[in-house]
Structure 1
């Protein structure tokens, strides 16, 4: 019986259970379940980028507003307005943050897409590519709520509390 108890506990918790996965989080477009800790995250917009960088996550892709007039989708972004000095990699330009280029987005192999609720019309298409979290971001105090949820999704709750 002593041999079965540790084995039973291991099977119940599992390696993913020990790290808190799978985890289901609620956001502005519904609920999303993440099966494992995201490693390749795409930020759709400066609000999402700010949240990710605050948690120490460097995005593999970035989508900006269409009025910035960048058309080099699929190319690394060398400079991002305002937050660019905090980006240590070269995220791929996935296009407009509200309507990103799905082919380019898929090419960066995201395991999580983070954006603003303005992309809600494209939420079904985005979720076919990767788990997607959309947050409110324009009102004072929105980021405090969003960062807690994002911290939970990324297994970075202590960092979220510190921020």
Structure 2
């Protein structure tokens, strides 16, 4: 009888123990799931998903060019475009002057680049001349943007565009430079500086 009672007690305790174990596992799994969700939420807050790069289409004298993001590495062909870019407080990584200059790198731009060298604060590469830029030298720089005058480069537009988004603008010595300035400022996301540059120019002439 004692053995039978012991067996009966054990038999009765099995469902109770099973229920306790099941409850413990449920609580443990629920806690783990909650912790995982909290961890994922913390990661999402710490590392938010990056927004896609904004692209815009720029109209210019040879058509239109799509530019994504803000260009940081710009190659400039010609002194006129260089002056506009410098006025917006941007520095080129490569430059092609009107004349062939005997320097591979403009490591002393104040002495090497005519007229505008003192305003160049970095050391851009020499990428040829305005009418004969070196496509190989430009490609090695991996620019985000190529900026230049149509003069001498209209037939090279397709080749330049294969290297990087390219804007070729018509140089106009009168008020046309203001239009070019606005186009360049829009591309470089510095439109807020446009009027300051124009006002400063007008004050110098007054």
TM bin, normalised by shorter chain, reads 0.7 to 0.9
CA–CA separation in structure 1 for the residues paired with 2:132 and 2:59: 22
- TM-score under structure 2 length normalisation: 0.66
In the other structure, the counterpart of 2:38 is none
Shift of 1:128: 0.4
- TM-score under structure 1 length normalisation: 0.82
What is the CA RMSD across the aligned residues, in angstroms?
2.0
Q: How many residue pairs are counted as aligned between the two chains? A: 146
Structure number with greater Rg is: 2
Higher relative contact order (CA 8 A, sep 6+): 1
5+ long unaligned stretches in structure 2: 1-48, 198-206
Question: Structure 2 matches for 1:10-159, cutoff 5 A?
Answer: 14=51, 16=53, 21-65=54-98, 68-72=99-103, 74-76=104-106, 78=108, 79-118=112-151, 119-159=153-193
Q: 4+ residue runs of structure 1 moved beyond 3 angstroms?
A: none
SS state at 1:26 partner: strand
CA–CA separation in structure 1 for the residues paired with 2:135 and 2:179: 28
Change (3 A) 1:15 1:159: farther
Asked if the contact 1:98/1:122 (under 8 Å) is kept, the reply is no
5+ long unaligned stretches in structure 1: 1-10
SS state at 2:115 partner: coil
